[in-house]
Structure 1
Amino acid sequence: MFRFAHPEYLFLLLLIPLLIGVFIYTSIQKRRNIAKFGNPDILAQLMPNVSKVRPQLKFYFQLVVVFLLTIVLAQPQFGLKQEKEKRKGIEVMIALDVSNSMLAQDVLPSRLENAKQILSKLVDDMNDDKVGLVVFAGDAYTQLPITVDYVSAKMFLSNISPELVPRQGTAIGSALDLAIKSFGAKSEAGKAIILITDGENHEDDAIGAAKLAAENNIIVNVIGMGKTDGAPIPVPGTMSFRKDKDGNVVVSKLNEQMCKEIALAGKGVYVHADNTNGAYKVINKELDKLAKSDLKSTSYSEYNEQFQSFALLALLILVIDFFIFDRKNKRLSKIKIFDLKDKVTK
């Protein structure tokens, strides 16, 4: 397969017709200026060293160099091939609560940011494991299908915010259902869901979804974010907090009992997150207990760079162009190649 790494540079090829137009215009103007002094045929005899072909040849060489250097800048690449390889690891789906209550700052810098830091560390510890991401509030969405692309996983994590899910709420059951469906083909690899939430205002059958996961040999580990005595929810971009319809400041509290019941139903563990690495260490230890098995995954080899040959050819043409003069060489013009041939034949 062939591609350009930076195809935007190919727009420089538009310079070629522009340069041709300028060259034609200047050639016409040059002939007109010569015609002003007299008959061009007679004037040509007075300028025997002036060459009509060499300037054109140099111009063509320079056009080719422009073309080749444009290709070099666009960075042509060949050789993508798709390979199947096997990895030994586990499969982990992350279900992350992104409701507005996760903006509360009873865990610094906020519940959501603290959760993202924990998840980032867990992803850093993964080698051949698969990881996927589901975000939820009032609805649940797959943010990242299960993959071994940890760079993409961390990129998606860093960009998560409550704006990703328009409808507010805490649809934990829907998130768990979606996470269960997001696992890859059946394998012997250990599977786990890491649910990160404050558990507040859950609105569906989260316990039933956790039981369903356990029935499918999927462990549900829960990280509870926040404190049970609660904290106000900041309004982004302001110094104020969210208020109810009566004008009272809304205090969001961690529903720790619900989180524990979900973990129990999912045959996993519950851990409360704080400003230490405690939650990360507990979950990481639980993941290490899962059985690792062969995971089939698709990998892609890197493209092979091919710009070098274009650059060398451009350099060679520039060297040749350097030694081609606009005027005829007096010494070389005295050599009569055809006269020498005639003498040899005689």
Structure 2
Amino acid sequence: MFRFEDPAYLYLLISLPLLILIRMYGLRKRKKQLKDFGDILLVKELMPNVSGGRRELKFWLMLAAVALIAIMLARPQMGTKISQDKRQGIEVMIALDISNSMKAEDVAPSRLDKSKMMIENLVDNFTDDKVGLVVFAGDAFIQLPITSDYVSAKMFLQNIDPSLIASQGTNLAEAVGLSSRSFTKQDNVGRAIIVITDGEDHEGGAVEAAKQAKKNGMRVFVLGVGSTKGTPIPDGNGGYMKDNTGQVVMSALNEEMCKQVAEAGGGAYIHVDNNNLAQRQLDNEISKLQKGDIMNVVYSEYDEQFQAVGILLIIILIVETIVLESKNPLLRKVKLFK
């Protein structure tokens, strides 16, 4: 397991593009000064020992040295001792609807963004549990395998967008089925599938999938996002999505279907109107699940790896020092640089 002990120092790498811009400005200014002095070709003849290639190499060596210094300060480390950490918790798979209808703004800022905030709050409340993430529309796929790494869970959450799935629709059956198959093989652990959707454009089979999940010892909870009154769906260009006849597409929360799926899965349906209230309701339901032994892989010892970076840095600095900006008269016939 690789990590940086002080990753904040990696922000120093932002200076690299700035140094490149300064370099480009300097070269442009120098070229202009040479033109003012005289004809460029004639000036080069008057300076036979000057090497532009050597200056270029020295600059890139300096840039590499700055990057390595930032990496050294961030203290790269490698985990060397692996241990198994046993905790009491549950396993949760979250299935998030990312169909186009989730872009509707009948809840602020949008159904999808509100769902993301809900998931982030949910993950923040986990301590000894495992969580995974499935995204679905017309198809479903695993965005994050079940894990106890909550930082990664929230990081993967930020990149979710309807464009991830080309096939549109709301295939709840596939989402529940894939979530059911994504748990670990551990016994005596409470398992929950949390489906977050507006239930729009339901493709069938979801109730049967929820019943099968319940039969396999899982509980299916459905969080309904949106308004039952209906609202247009933004198209991303300042307008709204339209059907084949040119009519604006209206999307409404299908609460009845959501309730049927939750009931079939032995869970509960919760309407997400107020995040805090929905969060408390969900936490109350999840707390009823049986906690079991959750095994986590832990890297308990880390070795510093900055030494290798330091050796490379020294080599680069030595090469940068040896390479001169002017040609060595003794090696004039050796054409390493122009």
Q: Give the TM-score, by structure 2 length.
A: 0.69
Q: 1:77 to 1:253 in 2, by over 3 A?
A: closer
| Aligned residue in 2 for 1:325 | none
1:190 aligns with 2:190: yes
Unaligned runs of 5+ in 1: 10-66, 316-346
**Structure 1: how far apart are the matches of 2:288 and 2:100?**
33
| Partner amino acid, structure 2, of 1:283 | L
**Structure 2: how far apart are the matches of 1:205 and 1:91?**
24
Flag the structure with larger Rg: 1
| Partner amino acid, structure 2, of 1:174 | E
- Tell whether the 8 Å contact from 2:68 to 2:309 is kept in structure 1 after alignment: no
| Partner amino acid, structure 1, of 2:220 | V
| Aligned residue in 2 for 1:301 | 300
How far off is 1:309 after superposition? 11
**Structure 2: how far apart are the matches of 1:207 and 1:78?**
47
Q: How does 1:43-122 map to 2 (within 5 A)?
A: 74=72, 77=77, 80-122=80-122
Q: How does 1:131-142 map to 2 (within 5 A)?
A: 131-142=131-142
SS for the counterpart of 2:267 is coil
Unaligned runs of 5+ in 2: 8-12, 14-64, 315-338
Q: Give the TM-score, by structure 1 length.
A: 0.67
| Aligned residue in 2 for 1:145 | 145
Q: 1:85 to 1:223 in 2, by over 3 A?
A: same
- Tell whether the 8 Å contact from 1:72 to 1:310 is kept in structure 2 after alignment: no
**Structure 1: how far apart are the matches of 2:2 and 2:291?**
37
**Structure 2: how far apart are the matches of 1:156 and 1:298?**
20
SS for the counterpart of 2:195 is strand
| Aligned residue in 1 for 2:254 | 255
**Structure 1: how far apart are the matches of 2:136 and 2:2?**
40
Structure 1 runs of 4+ aligned residues shifted over 6 Å read: 1-6, 69-72, 308-311
| Aligned residue in 2 for 1:271 | 270
- Tell whether the 8 Å contact from 1:107 to 1:275 is kept in structure 2 after alignment: no
| Aligned residue in 2 for 1:209 | 209
- Output one character per residue of 1:196-218: Cα deviation in whole Å (capped at 9) or x when no partner: 11111111300000000110110
- Tell whether the 8 Å contact from 1:72 to 1:307 is kept in structure 2 after alignment: no
- Tell whether the 8 Å contact from 1:187 to 1:295 is kept in structure 2 after alignment: no
SS for the counterpart of 1:260 is helix
SS for the counterpart of 2:266 is coil
**Structure 2: how far apart are the matches of 1:161 and 1:257?**
26
Q: 1:4 to 1:156 in 2, by over 3 A?
A: closer
SS for the counterpart of 2:263 is helix
**Structure 1: how far apart are the matches of 2:164 and 2:271?**
25
How far off is 1:85 after superposition? 1.6
- Tell whether the 8 Å contact from 2:118 to 2:275 is kept in structure 1 after alignment: no
How far off is 1:132 after superposition? 0.3
| Aligned residue in 1 for 2:44 | none
**Structure 2: how far apart are the matches of 1:291 and 1:273?**
25
How far off is 1:72 after superposition? 9.5
Please identify, of 72-81 and 299-308, the stretch whose mean Cα deviation from structure 2 is larger. Answer: 72-81
**Structure 1: how far apart are the matches of 2:177 and 2:245?**
35
**Structure 1: how far apart are the matches of 2:76 and 2:128?**
31
- Tell whether the 8 Å contact from 1:96 to 1:197 is kept in structure 2 after alignment: yes
SS for the counterpart of 1:176 is helix
**Structure 1: how far apart are the matches of 2:227 and 2:76?**
55
SS for the counterpart of 2:207 is helix
Aligned-CA RMSD value: 3.0
- Tell whether the 8 Å contact from 2:200 to 2:254 is kept in structure 1 after alignment: yes
Q: Tell me the number of residue pairs that the alignment of Structure 1 and Structure 2 aligns.
A: 254
SS for the counterpart of 1:109 is coil
How far off is 1:310 after superposition? 9.4
Please identify, of 69-78 and 262-271, the stretch whose mean Cα deviation from structure 2 is larger. Answer: 69-78
SS for the counterpart of 1:295 is strand
**Structure 2: how far apart are the matches of 1:273 and 1:76?**
42
- Tell whether the 8 Å contact from 1:108 to 1:275 is kept in structure 2 after alignment: no
SS for the counterpart of 1:294 is strand
Q: Quote the sequence identity (%).
A: 53
Q: 1:106 to 1:306 in 2, by over 3 A?
A: closer
**Structure 2: how far apart are the matches of 1:232 and 1:175?**
25
| Aligned residue in 2 for 1:280 | 279
| Aligned residue in 2 for 1:246 | 245
